[in-house]
Amino acid sequence: MLAVEDLVVRFATARGAVHAVDGVSLALAAGETLGLVGESGCGKSTLGRAILRLIEPSQGHIRLDGTDVTHHSRSALRATRRKVQMVFQDPFASLDPRWTVGELIAEPLHIHGIGTRAARKAKVADILAKVGLPPEAARRYPHQFSGGQRQRIGIARALVLDPEVVVLDEPVSALDVSVQAQILNLLVDLQETLGVAFLFISHDLSVVEYVSDRVAVMYLGRMVEIADRETLFAAPAHPYTRALLDAVPQIGGDGAPRRPPLAGDLPSPYAPPPGCRFHTRCPTAQARCGSDIPVLRTLTGGHQVACHFPLATVPETA
Ligand code: SF4
Ligand code: MG
């Protein structure tokens, strides 16, 4: 339904050009959740914003239901915006605090010219109920709500247009752990009832494991691995994914990571390493890794990996 092909997002900065997203491809099927993980600065938020054209991609394609929307004009983009919505870490950072919650949730309907005033009011009441808020919430202001309730409002605003895809960028990262669980369960329930697809961006692997059908891993602007959740967590093929998983403290253990965390710092995005970008930190790097760029290729079961020497021993199909 949503397909991203060879997407590049380049930023010109005082220190030179940065390829924040460098040739990324992924596909999202109707009603599924694709988790997108990676360290801070790996380009996952930039990718999410580029899919909504909040940032203009420099190269590549974004297809929605088969239509190439990469270069749609502002007016054509409105139709896309109905189908693809976004939930931010802090949904109110950019919204007018003088608006009531009802006005904020109804705004997307208003922008798209949907329904009469009465119909929009009914739709707001309906979506508030779906996200677990009482009808009177519509008359109150964002600051009168807790962080978790505010995120419910942010989700309501994203869902009010009945989108096909919602990009969620660290939607629970600012919340207490107990509240995180409530919001994650709400998202899982909403997906079941509404059939919407989620691109769920998070640095937190346990959160991603909880919500995702499939998981995609980025490193320094490139996609390094995509697999179904079970495969990715049980048998990752990319050494970077392995290192990310090893860095997660084990619940019930002594709280220590299984292996020492990754050696070395994340290289500068201004001067990414040649060849495999992970070769400066990879425990199993070999000579060719420093010069040959590994492309994303498919192992069995749709498992994709960009590594010359993948860890999994499954045979290649393509
Ligand atoms: Fe490590 Fe080489 Fe694979 Fe890169 S291509 S992850 S350096 S083994
Ligand atoms: Mg981010």
Ligand at minimal distance from the CA of 284 is 1
Q: What is the ipTM of this complex?
A: 0.95
Q: What is the mean pLDDT of the chain?
A: 90
Ligand at minimal distance from the CA of 47 is 2
Q: Is 293 within 8 Å of 284 (Cβ atoms)? A: no
Residue 317 has pLDDT above 60, yes or no: no
Summarised one tens digit per residue, pLDDT across range 183-210 is 999 999 999 999 999 999 999 999 999 9
Instruction: List residues, by chain if needed, whose CB lies under 5 Å from ion ligand 2.
Output: 45
Q: Is 153 within 8 Å of 69 (Cβ atoms)? A: no
**What pLDDT was estimated at residue 71?**
80
Beta strands in the chain (DSSP E): 2-13, 16-28, 33-37, 59-64, 67-68, 84-87, 165-169, 197-201, 214-219, 222-228, 297-298, 304-305
- Give residue 91 CA to ligand 2 midpoint distance, Å: 14
- Which atom of ligand 1 is nearest the CA belonging to 288? 2
Please tell me the residue having the least CA distance from ligand 1 atom 7: 279
- pLDDT band, very low/low/confident/very high, at 318 (cuts 50, 70, 90): very low
The percent of residues above 90 in pLDDT, for the chain, comes to 73
Please tell me the residue having the least CA distance from ligand 1 atom 1: 285
- Give residue 307 CA to ligand 1 midpoint distance, Å: 5
**What pLDDT was estimated at residue 266?**
84
**Rounded-to-integer distance, Cα 159 and Cα 165, Å:** 9
Residue 50 has pLDDT above 90, yes or no: yes
Q: Which residues line ligand 1 (CB under 6 A)?
A: 238-239, 276, 278-279, 282, 284-285, 289, 294, 307-309
- Give residue 288 CA to ligand 2 midpoint distance, Å: 31
- Give residue 213 CA to ligand 1 midpoint distance, Å: 26
Ligand at minimal distance from the CA of 240 is 1
Average pLDDT (43-64) is: 93
